[in-house]
């Protein structure tokens, strides 16, 4: 792979792929790592649920040429909103997902108005702590797939924010992207997000809105906390394994 200085980043390249049935489909290319190389455009993508892709969307994805998809949703989520058949002769689907710790309960309690802002903040912290303690195998598997599967590769969950956001952070960390850049990428999901009713169903009341906004304010802080935990708990995986793949220039 050639060395490309960070200053040569193609600034006009669009990070968000404009689709009709998906709102948070983004390219992880163009991020500078500590050694000055860039993550390659058009190689690793992140997204929310794909169930509502239109024919026009599928044409756009055909031009991207996806070769692999890592679906981070739980079994029940995949059954409720199955992905359409994606264009391409050999798109490999890897269902490696999970439901975040007490995630269904949190959504139900928020919809019912049973959760206060302090409670939702603590539950969100616990969800992200559990990503590190309970889902090490999932994220290790994801890194293996990024290393070994043909690219382009897509990672997605339901909203494209929590599970996909943490997964993207892990990949960017492995590629040597600075933490501040990772936090900025994570925060983009607050710009490209589903309507609140998509996430909890029904009409969103004021108390629910305050609780969900508290969730979003907290996300960046919690991700930074868990990045430090990943550093402390890093296993004996080869630190250059992902860097050796074709995801950087």
pLDDT at 204: 43
Residue with structure tokens 């559990």?
130
| Structure confidence at residue 143 (pLDDT) | 96
Per residue in 17-42, pLDDT (tens digit) is: 999 999 999 999 999 998 889 999 99
Strands 44-47, 153-156: pairing is: parallel
The confidence score (pLDDT) of residue 169 equals: 93
Q: Does the reported pTM lie above 0.85? A: no
What pLDDT is attached to residue 88? Answer: 76
The pLDDT of residue 60 is 95
**Residue carrying structure tokens 């309507």:** 195
Decide: 66 and 47 in contact? Cβ < 8 Å. no
φ, ψ at 130 (rounded to 5°): -70, -25
Mean pLDDT score across all residues of the chain: 79
pLDDT at 175: 94
Domains of the chain: 4-8+15-98+138-194 (3.90.190.10), 101-134+195-235 (no CATH)
Q: Which residue ranges of the chain lie beneath pLDDT 50?
A: 1-12, 195-198, 200, 202-211, 234-239, 241, 244
Give the per-residue pLDDT at 5. 35
Kindly report, residue by residue over 98-117, the tens digit of the pLDDT.
988 776 777 777 677 777 77
pLDDT the model gives residue 161: 87
- Give the per-residue SS3 of the chain: CCCCCHHHCCCCCCCECCCCCCCCCEECCCCECCCCCEECCCCEEEECCCCCCCHHHHHHHHHHCCCEEEECCCHHHHHHCCCCCCCCCCCEEEECCCCCCCHHHHHHHHHCCCCCHHHHHHHHHHHHHHHHHHCHHHHHHHHHHHHHCCCCEEEECCCCCHHHHHHHHHHHHHCCCCHHHHHHHHHHHHCCCCCHHHHHCCCCCHHHHHHHHHHHHHHHHHHHHHHHHHHHHCCCCCCCCHHHCCCEC
Given this model, what pLDDT does residue 241 score?
47
């Amino acid at each position: 792979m050639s060395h490309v200085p960070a200053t040569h980043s193609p600034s006009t390249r669009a990070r968000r792929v404009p689709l009709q049935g998906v709102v948070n489909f983004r390219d992880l290319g163009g991020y500078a790592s500590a050694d000055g190389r860039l993550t390659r455009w058009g190689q690793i993508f992140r997204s929310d649920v794909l169930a509502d892709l239109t024919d026009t969307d599928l044409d756009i994805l055909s031009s991207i040429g996806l070769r692999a998809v890592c679906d981070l949703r739980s079994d029940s989520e995949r059954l409720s909103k199955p992905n359409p058949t994606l264009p391409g002769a050999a798109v490999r689907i890897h269902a490696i997902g999970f439901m975040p710790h007490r995630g269904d309960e949190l959504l139900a309690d928020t919809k019912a108005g049973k959760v206060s802002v302090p409670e939702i903040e603590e539950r969100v912290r616990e969800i992200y702590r559990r990503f590190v303690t309970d889902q090490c195998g999932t994220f290790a598997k994801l890194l293996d797939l990024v290393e070994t599967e043909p690219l382009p590769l897509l990672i997605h969950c339901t909203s494209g924010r929590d599970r996909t956001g943490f997964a993207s952070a892990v990949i960017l960390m492995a590629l040597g992207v600075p933490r501040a850049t990772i936090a900025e990428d994570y925060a983009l999901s607050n710009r490209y997000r589903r309507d609140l009713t998509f996430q909890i169903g029904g009409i969103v009341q004021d108390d629910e809105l305050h609780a969900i906004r508290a969730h979003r304010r907290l996300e960046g802080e919690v991700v930074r906390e868990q990045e430090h935990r990943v550093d402390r708990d890093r296993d004996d995986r080869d630190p250059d394994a992902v860097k050796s793949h074709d995801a950087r220039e």
